[in-house]
Amino acid sequence: MRAVFFGAILSVIATPNLQADEFNLPDLGDTTSGIVSLQEERRLGQMFLRSYRSQVPTSNDPLLHHYLDALLSKLAQHSPLINRNFDLVITQSASLNAFAAPGNIIGVNTGLMTHTQNEGQLASVLAHELAHLSQRHYARRLEQQQNMALPFYTALLASLVIAASGSADGGLAAMSATQAAAANAQLKFSRQNEQEADRLGIQTLIDAGYDPYAASDMFEQMLRAARYSRRPPEFLLTHPVTESRIADARARAMRYPKKLAPNNLEFHLMRSRVRALQAETPQRAIDVFQGELNGNSMSVDASQYGLALAYNLASQPQKAHKALAPLLQKEPERLTYRVMDIDIDIAAEQYDQAIEKLRSGLRTLPNYYPFNVRYAEVLMQSGRYQTGAHFLTQLVRQIKDDPYLWYLLAEVNGLAGDVPGVHEARAEYFILIGVYDKAILQLRNALKLSESSYQTALLQERLRYVEKLRADIDRG
Ligand SMILES: [Zn+2]
């Protein structure tokens, strides 16, 4: 069992649809939070997110992003949170962790998926995080600590980066655990805050239609994980899971009728996905899923899906196709299966077929993120560089802050021979992952190639913006 860490949890000042550009935020006249303004909150959040991405391996998997985004939105609708726009960051780490940071940043480790047994348990952790946000626990702490925003931000970043990289065993990990412990001790919320987050989190869970016992089940799951962990269970510092906490959660659940388990299939498919992607080798994943299909499986369809994915990762598209066939036959419209089917075409270099399926999919579901990402990827892979560059240029106008899309755009611009385009897209990519020196370098290269005064002015403005971001980091 790997390290267990149920994160340092912060809250945000909930605001009505805070979507404005961070340079041009309206003054919403927030007086209740006093010390940290909304602008500051948003600025700190984005600064945090970029620094976090620069130091921690994150996942670009479009299916996981789509699934977790949808789950968060669903829970947020049943929480008292006013601002329901999140920045979701998925960390590739086997440890159990989730966190919320100022500015509506939600972080989820892939390990959270593998340590939960159903969607209700996963939702219980996320609902707890949302409650810290809606109750402005972060702002309240800052009020107590007298303008500690920047040290707080630095401590948060340090502890989360250590937590994310702390799944490795050995001396370094042990040392990091001590540092993480020190940082976490500062970040710990009061017992009252935790009780409030538990209470509201369970209410959100129930209102969203989940089994009320999912929260107490999850706490028990964490205790079990802690018991078998070789590393000190850091989550006990921020989230002491005691018998009384479990008893409280169970007592609250008892007031509601026990729900039949909702349809968990999509959860189990995504759980299989994480397990296949984080397996040591694709062959190891093939063995695991085949073993489940021959013995015990939490969800036969999910094991079958995992097997198809593992074969595809092992570059055996024919076997993948055969493994997926019964699932597609059962539910030909399930999007997760349709994407798998397309991924198998891509692995088999059947690009025309994949493109046809994606075009047809995008006609009915133009905003389905996995179709968009795959379409961009396959255009590039099949040598359609101009079309790919055009498609991605449109896409980054709709989704401005997705580092992976900018990364793809830089690649395809390069293949299409658009050198200024490479520099500009790379600059945006480096900004979003917090590597400002490289972003500045890319913008300077783009400036040298600029052919119009308008373009030059735009690039210079962008350069000043990045230089300011870098100065902010140095101050923090
Ligand atoms: Zn908490």
Tens digit of each residue's pLDDT (9 = 90 or more) over 223-280: 877 777 665 445 555 666 778 888 888 888 888 877 766 669 999 999 999 999 999 9
For residue 128, the CA-to-ligand 1 centroid distance in Å is 6
State residue 194's pLDDT score.
Answer: 85
State both tokens at 98. Answer: 């989730």
3-state secondary structure the chain: CCCECCCCCCCCCCCCCCCCCCCCCCCCCCCCCCCCCHHHHHHHHHHHHHHHHHHCCECCCHHHHHHHHHHHHHHHHCCCCCCCCCEEEEECCCCECEEEECCCEEEEEHHHHHCCCCHHHHHHHHHHHHHHHHCCHHHHHHHHHCCCHHHHHHHHHHHHHHHHHCCCCCHHHHHHHHHHHHHHHHHCCCHHHHHHHHHHHHHHHHHCCCCCCHHHHHHHHHHHHHHCCCCCCCHHHHCCCCHHHHHHHHHHHCCCCCCCCCCCHHHHHHHHHHHHHCCCCHHHHHHHHHHHHHCCCCCHHHHHHHHHHHHHHCCCHHHHHHHHHHHHHHCCCCHHHHHHHHHHHHHCCCHHHHHHHHHHHHHHCCCCHHHHHHHHHHHHHCCCHHHHHHHHHHHHHHCCCCHHHHHHHHHHHHHCCCHHHHHHHHHHHHHHCCCHHHHHHHHHHHHHHCCCHHHHHHHHHHHHHHHHHHHHHHHC
Amino acid at 256: Y
For residue 169, the CA-to-ligand 1 centroid distance in Å is 26
What's the rounded Cα separation, in Å, for the pair 413 and 290?
41
pTM, full prediction:
0.86
Give the burial string for 11-22 (b: 16+ CB within 10 Å, else e): bbbbbeebeeee
State residue 175's pLDDT score.
Answer: 44
For residue 12, the CA-to-ligand 1 centroid distance in Å is 13
For residue 235, the CA-to-ligand 1 centroid distance in Å is 10
What's the rounded Cα separation, in Å, for the pair 75 and 130?
8
Distance of CA 178 to the CA centre of its chain: 26
For residue 343, the CA-to-ligand 1 centroid distance in Å is 38
For residue 133, the CA-to-ligand 1 centroid distance in Å is 10
**Do 212 and 127 touch, CB atoms closer than 8 A?**
no
For residue 190, the CA-to-ligand 1 centroid distance in Å is 9
Amino acid at 172: L
Cα angle 19-63-239, degrees, rounded to a multiple of 5: 70
What's the rounded Cα separation, in Å, for the pair 446 and 453?
13
Rg (CA), the chain: 23
State residue 371's pLDDT score.
Answer: 98
State residue 168's pLDDT score.
Answer: 38
Amino acid at 313: L
3-state secondary structure 172-196: HHHHHHHHHHHHHHHHCCCHHHHHH
State residue 84's pLDDT score.
Answer: 81
Residue in 41, 194, 198, 217 annotated catalytic: 198
C-alpha distances (whole Å) from 4 to each of 66, 183, 242, 243 are: 25, 16, 15, 18
For residue 207, the CA-to-ligand 1 centroid distance in Å is 19
Helices 385-398 and 419-432, interaxial angle, to 10°? 40
What domains, with CATH codes, occur in the chain? 38-253 (no CATH), 265-348 (no CATH), 364-476 (1.25.40.10)
What's the rounded Cα separation, in Å, for the pair 476 and 474?
5
Query: Which pLDDT tens digits describe the chain residue by residue (476 residues)?
Result: 223 333 322 222 222 232 333 333 333 334 444 556 667 777 878 888 998 898 889 999 999 999 999 999 999 999 988 878 889 999 998 878 888 887 888 899 898 899 899 999 999 999 998 888 888 777 666 666 655 566 666 777 776 776 666 543 333 344 455 555 555 555 667 778 888 888 999 999 999 999 989 988 888 888 877 777 665 445 555 666 778 888 888 888 888 877 766 669 999 999 999 999 999 999 999 999 999 999 988 899 999 999 999 999 999 999 999 999 999 999 999 999 999 999 999 999 999 999 999 999 999 999 999 999 999 999 999 999 999 999 999 999 999 999 999 999 999 999 999 999 999 999 999 999 999 999 999 999 999 999 999 999 999 999 999 999 998 777 65
State residue 193's pLDDT score.
Answer: 84
**Do 96 and 6 touch, CB atoms closer than 8 A?**
yes
**Do 107 and 122 touch, CB atoms closer than 8 A?**
no
Tell me, yes or no, if 377 is annotated catalytic: no
Tell me, yes or no, if 129 is annotated catalytic: yes
What's the rounded Cα separation, in Å, for the pair 309 and 321?
9
For residue 192, the CA-to-ligand 1 centroid distance in Å is 10
Strand 87-91: give its sheet, edge to edge: 87-91, 105-109, 98-101
pLDDT digits 0-9 by tens, 42-94: 787 888 899 889 888 999 999 999 999 999 999 999 998 887 888 999 999 88
Going 254 to 257 to 263 to 266, the CA torsion angle's sign is negative
User: Of 226, 43, 265, nearest to 150 (Cα)?
Assistant: 43
Give long-range contacts, CB 8 A cutoff, 24+ apart: 69-74.
69/369, 71/119, 71/122, 71/123, 71/126, 72/106, 72/126, 72/130, 74/208
State residue 21's pLDDT score.
Answer: 32
For residue 157, the CA-to-ligand 1 centroid distance in Å is 17
State both tokens at 381. Answer: 């892979």
Percent above pLDDT 90 for the chain:
54
Residue in 40, 61, 119, 129 annotated catalytic: 129
